[in-house]
A and B are shown apart, each in its own frame.
Chain A
Amino acid sequence: MRLERMVERMTSAVRNLLRRPQVDAELDEEVRGYVEMLTDEKMARGLTQNEARREAKMELGGVEQVKEQTREVRAGHFLETLWRDLYYAARTLRKNPGFTIVAVLTLALGIGANSAVFSAIDAILLRPLRFPDGDQLMQVSQYNPKVKSPNPFVAPVRLEDWNRMNSTFQALTGYYAEDDSETSGPLPEKITIAFVAPRFLQVWGVAPELGRDFSPEEERVGGPPAALISNRYWRRRFGENPKALGKQLRIGKAGVPIVGIMPSSFLFPDHDVDVWLTVPIGAPYTESRDNTWYTVVGRLKKGVTLAQARANLATVQVQLGKQYPKPDADIAVKIQPLKDTILGNVGRSFWMLFGAVSLLLLIACMNIAALLLARSSQRRHEISIRFALGGSRIRIVRQLLTETFLLALAGAALGLVFAGAASKIFQTLAASLPRVQEIHLDARIVLYTLVCSVVVTLLCGLFPALRAARESISGSLAQTSAAQVSTRNRLQWLLVGVQVALAVTLLAGAGLLVRSFEAIGQVSPGFNPSHVLTFHVSASYGETANMKALTQRIDRILDSLRTLPGVSEGATSATLPGVPQEYEQQFKVIEGPTDPNRKTMADWRSVSPDYFATLQIPLLEGEACREQTGSVNVMVNRSFANTYFPQSSAVGHHLQVLGALANFYPTAEIRGIVGDAREEGLNHAPEPTIYSCFSAPMPDPYYLVRTHNAPMSLAETVRKRLAQLEPGRSVFDMAPLTDHLDDSLSENRLRMVLLAFFAATAIALACIGLYGTLSYSVAVRKREIGLRMALGAMRGQIATLFLFKGLGVCALGCAAGLALAITSSRLLAGMLYGVSPTDVLTLSAVVVMVLALAAVASLVPAVRASRVDPMTALRYE
């Protein structure tokens, strides 16, 4: 029965919608017919025709109203009115192009920016890693709780122990990457190799696209060699030829056949990895518990939580500690979700960005709300007529909301276009951020944008619509504009004030970041980074077996490079100066009292002897170190000397290194003192540092070469010389040192640029709001102005009156904004350098700028007010 009724109603709905004019005409005729018949009745009772008709009409209560009440219950009414609302809303918007364009642009900026940032956050933070069940992947590292050493790498034999003894992981594996040369082709080619432990593909859950995974024999010592290659390498080297399977690669002295090709989506551990090789377990160099190489990744069993895994591996490590007290008793295990390790500090910046953008959207909404309020008061007449024609309050509110909704929709559509463009810009600006290539607009972003539009509609439109509909008929029709002055304006001024406050807060933040960035730029680094070329020469860790040969090789390269025309100095270093790479080391001063409570720590850098000359770090005392076999020379910097040798000179003293490096470095002698250099980054004060003079800290150190002219101009010359010296090796990552320094500051720069952009948009929006509200105020108070002028006020006084009104509200907004900025200064504290979050100079500059802009925005309406002609104004009704 219910179903029949529903079907009937739907058929009627369709009929009503399709044949609306006809249906309406019939209704009209029916109701009028009723009136006629009622009139006839009354006439039959003895009234005259006119009296009868009048009574009939009164009894009816109004033809239009009855018709409207009937229409309301008809099927399909809702859709019909909706359609009519939309049509009318579109027409109204079209007739006010100025307002519409401003509103749509404002919304587009707000919604578009929100969508762009959200899509970036989604790609970089929210979407899990693109592996099956990526949330199960964990990064596992070891660390010594007693030493603040950043060495998280794990020894292969320990990895195997963990894998065997744990109960919470499906499998654990490890990898490390290094560069080498592949020599089976006509020229040696540099490739990036990832050396992996067994079960590598099992942990990732990815299978090769062609060929197969490693077999168990290939993963043990003595077994046949095998390699997996990446899709990119396959394309580049073999042109995607399936016959590449089985071909032999030549790495070092060995030939390695290709057994599998990975799919193009597999880019782990690095985007650049070309070849995966196994590290055979059981090989002698994998047996030592101190040889730590691997970055370990594991996949949790289904249903196991992070807490359980942590507890389990902690127990396993305790057992190992009992079995092998040295070194396992000192080692603890750390487990983190893999996702977190890839992101680092980026997460914090992004949420700050998201907050700023949402704030911007809020400001945009308030602007629109103010504009809508202004317009709705101008439409009071129209709205009153609607009431008179029988419209209900809900209908009218709905009509006004539809307009706002159309605006929001248009703004969202345009905003999506903006967001697409912004994504591209984001990718270029932030190319160094992880996973930035994965940012696209997708269905979720579009959905988010639509939700934003709806929210915006409600925020902007509800209040003005409700307000407009609240007025009674008689009040609005009879009233002239004279009476309604300050009460409504108070709300609009409040909105302007809040906007100004928010803009001031954003501007203060941006200003502080700008100044902090400048301060970093002006800091003296303690070394001369210009005219220095850096590069790498491929090498393999196997060379560490013969340190003497390695050192000789590197020294030979350096000597040869120094003879090149255009080169003045050359050196090697384990780390780049000015690029943060912490490595702290505990040591003990041999001659002198040792305080057991006070740990002596310093930064440890391994550099070749000519490092200081190459970077122009001044030698303050003693002499430059030399490489000698037998004893180890070190240099220290001035901070070190001042901290640990306040009275005597540090030169000549001996240091004993403690901790993991103790095996490699026996007692060291301090040869000299050099000036402080900001090795940890330009925004960090120099720390006490020990430089060990050792040109081969690793097989593949950074090479630093000081050139007379622009560094890159020597690139080809250096390559050719190295091709002569070391034909089997490739030269890569050539860049001036200044490029590296710029890169390390790129995140700061990005933050600064973006925040400045938002602050600029915010203040622009606030000014638009100010202008709009003041103009409206002038328009509404025309009569009052006319009166004042008639009573003797000068034009200048009128202009000043309005100017001060605008500035006054602005000043209040500034005060509120300052308070907000000061209370939220803690948010920025971590990102600032050289300037405090409540820096007076910056804050006052912001306030002055905002007031100046407000004055400009208020000028035009104020001047317009002064030009009002009192005669026309007083006659205006």
Chain B
Amino acid sequence: MTRVQMELLQGTLDMLIMKALALGEMHGLGISRRIEQITKGTFQVKPGSLFPALHRMEEEGWLSAAWGESENNRRAKYYQLTKMGRRQLETETQRWGRISLAIANALEA
């Protein structure tokens, strides 16, 4: 994603990351791949956007991180959702639902 688009979708990126982690803990690259997967290839998150988002959300308490071993036995940092994060994910999902419904109505009218 180019820089401009990232700014527009920062809230959305957070939501996607949290959704990806809802399925279980994961490291940076894995999160990127999962997002690609669940959005069916629409969003490919570059590390320049991903890492800042991950660190920011960790500092805000929505994620927690721990060092672990990856599939190929490399040291990697694994992120998982905290309780606060789950709550935030729900809130965001509901909000997003309302927004998209409103916009859909507007476009149909």
Instruction: List chain A positions with a Cβ less than 8 A from chain B.
Output: 4-5, 8-9, 12-13, 26-27, 29-31, 33-34, 36-38, 40-41, 59-61, 65-66, 69-70, 72-75
What 10 pairs across the A-B complex have the smallest Cβ distances?
A8-B61, A12-B59, A73-B52, A70-B51, A37-B29, A73-B56, A30-B77, A75-B59, A70-B52, A5-B60
CB-CB < 8 A to A75: which residues of B? 59
Task: Tell me if A's interface is mostly helix, strand, loop or mixed.
Answer: helix
Docked CA distance A533–B75 (Å): 100
Docked CA distance A41–B70 (Å): 12
Q: How far does the Cβ of A480 sit from chain B's closest Cβ, in whole Å?
A: 33
Docked CA distance A308–B52 (Å): 68
CB-CB < 8 A to A29: which residues of B? 75
CB-CB < 8 A to A60: which residues of B? 47-48
Q: Taking the complex as formed, is B76 at the interface, i.e. its CB lies under 8 A from any CB of chain A? A: yes
Q: Give which listed residue, A33, A37, A61, contacts B46 with CB less than 8 A.
A: A61
Docked CA distance A416–B46 (Å): 53
Do B48 and A74 have beta carbons less than 8 Å apart? no
Docked CA distance A41–B61 (Å): 31
CB-CB < 8 A to A73: which residues of B? 52-53, 55-56
**Interface-centre pick from B29, B53, B58 (highest chain A CB count, 10 A):** B29
Do B59 and A66 have beta carbons less than 8 Å apart? no
Q: Give which listed residue, B52, B56, B60, B77, contacts A33 with CB less than 8 A.
A: B77
Docked CA distance A12–B55 (Å): 10
CB-CB < 8 A to B74: which residues of A? 33, 36-37, 40
Bits for B67-83, please: 1 = Cβ < 8 Å to A, else 0: 00010101111000000
Closest to B3 in A: A69
Task: Tell me if B's interface is mostly helix, strand, loop or mixed.
Answer: helix
Do B29 and A34 have beta carbons less than 8 Å apart? yes
Closest to A44 in B: B72
Do B77 and A65 have beta carbons less than 8 Å apart? no
Closest to B88 in A: A1
Do B61 and A33 have beta carbons less than 8 Å apart? no
Q: How far does the Cβ of B44 sit from chain A's closest Cβ, in whole Å?
A: 10
In addition to A4-B84, A74-B55, 13 A-B residue pairs with Cβ atoms within 8 Å of each other are A5-B60, A9-B59, A9-B60, A31-B51, A33-B70, A33-B74, A33-B76, A37-B29, A40-B72, A66-B51, A70-B52, A70-B55, A74-B59
13 contacts between A and B (CB under 8 A): A8-B59, A8-B61, A13-B59, A31-B47, A33-B77, A34-B51, A61-B46, A61-B47, A61-B48, A66-B48, A69-B51, A70-B55, A73-B56
Docked CA distance A29–B29 (Å): 14
Closest to A33 in B: B76
Do B52 and A34 have beta carbons less than 8 Å apart? no
Q: How far does the Cβ of B50 sit from chain A's closest Cβ, in whole Å?
A: 9
Do A69 and B56 have beta carbons less than 8 Å apart? no
Q: How far does the Cβ of B66 sit from chain A's closest Cβ, in whole Å?
A: 11
Closest to A12 in B: B59
Q: How far does the Cβ of A54 sit from chain B's closest Cβ, in whole Å?
A: 16
Do A38 and B29 have beta carbons less than 8 Å apart? yes
Docked CA distance A40–B60 (Å): 32
Closest to B53 in A: A73
Q: Give which listed residue, A12, A37, A66, contacts B72 with CB less than 8 A.
A: A37
Closest to A5 in B: B60
The residues in B between 18 and 58 inclusive whose CB is less than 8 angstroms from any CB of A are: 27-29, 46-48, 51-53, 55-56, 58
CB-CB < 8 A to B53: which residues of A? 73
Docked CA distance A29–B56 (Å): 18
Closest to A10 in B: B59
Q: How far does the Cβ of B64 sit from chain A's closest Cβ, in whole Å?
A: 11
Do A65 and B48 have beta carbons less than 8 Å apart? yes
CB-CB < 8 A to B55: which residues of A? 27, 70, 73-74
Docked CA distance A372–B58 (Å): 42
Q: Give which listed residue, B51, B56, B76, contacts A37 with CB less than 8 A.
A: B76
CB-CB < 8 A to A36: which residues of B? 74
Do B51 and A8 have beta carbons less than 8 Å apart? no
Q: How far does the Cβ of B84 sit from chain A's closest Cβ, in whole Å?
A: 7
CB-CB < 8 A to B61: which residues of A? 4-5, 8
Do A34 and B72 have beta carbons less than 8 Å apart? no
Q: How far does the Cβ of B67 sit from chain A's closest Cβ, in whole Å?
A: 8
Do A74 and B76 have beta carbons less than 8 Å apart? no
Q: How far does the Cβ of B82 sit from chain A's closest Cβ, in whole Å?
A: 10
Closest to A13 in B: B59
CB-CB < 8 A to A8: which residues of B? 59-61
Closest to A72 in B: B52
Do B70 and A37 have beta carbons less than 8 Å apart? yes
CB-CB < 8 A to B59: which residues of A? 8-9, 12-13, 74-75
CB-CB < 8 A to A34: which residues of B? 28-29, 47, 51
CB-CB < 8 A to A30: which residues of B? 28, 51, 76-77
Closest to B33 in A: A41
Q: How far does the Cβ of A139 sit from chain B's closest Cβ, in whole Å?
A: 66
Q: A4-B84, A72-B52, A74-B59 known; A26 and B77 CB under 8 Å? A: yes
Docked CA distance A26–B76 (Å): 10
Closest to A16 in B: B59
Docked CA distance A352–B92 (Å): 64
Docked CA distance A13–B53 (Å): 16
CB-CB < 8 A to B58: which residues of A? 12
CB-CB < 8 A to A26: which residues of B? 77
Closest to B76 in A: A33
CB-CB < 8 A to A37: which residues of B? 27, 29, 70, 72, 74, 76
Docked CA distance A26–B66 (Å): 11
CB-CB < 8 A to B77: which residues of A? 26, 30, 33
Closest to B49 in A: A69
Q: How far does the Cβ of A148 sit from chain B's closest Cβ, in whole Å?
A: 77
CB-CB < 8 A to A65: which residues of B? 48
Q: A8-B59, A73-B56 known; A33 and B75 CB under 8 Å? A: yes
Docked CA distance A8–B83 (Å): 14
Docked CA distance A66–B59 (Å): 18
Docked CA distance A75–B72 (Å): 32
Q: How far does the Cβ of A224 sit from chain B's closest Cβ, in whole Å?
A: 83
Docked CA distance A8–B52 (Å): 16
Docked CA distance A61–B46 (Å): 9
Q: How far does the Cβ of A76 sit from chain B's closest Cβ, in whole Å?
A: 9
Q: A34-B28, A37-B70 known; A74 and B75 CB under 8 Å? A: no
Do A74 and B56 have beta carbons less than 8 Å apart? yes
CB-CB < 8 A to B56: which residues of A? 73-74
Closest to B77 in A: A30
Q: How far does the Cβ of A278 sit from chain B's closest Cβ, in whole Å?
A: 77
Q: How far does the Cβ of A63 sit from chain B's closest Cβ, in whole Å?
A: 9
CB-CB < 8 A to B27: which residues of A? 33, 37
Docked CA distance A471–B75 (Å): 41
Docked CA distance A8–B76 (Å): 23
Q: How far does the Cβ of A143 sit from chain B's closest Cβ, in whole Å?
A: 74
Closest to A59 in B: B46
Q: How far does the Cβ of A79 sit from chain B's closest Cβ, in whole Å?
A: 14
Closest to A8 in B: B61
Docked CA distance A4–B61 (Å): 8
Q: How far does the Cβ of B42 sit from chain A's closest Cβ, in whole Å?
A: 18
CB-CB < 8 A to B75: which residues of A? 29, 33
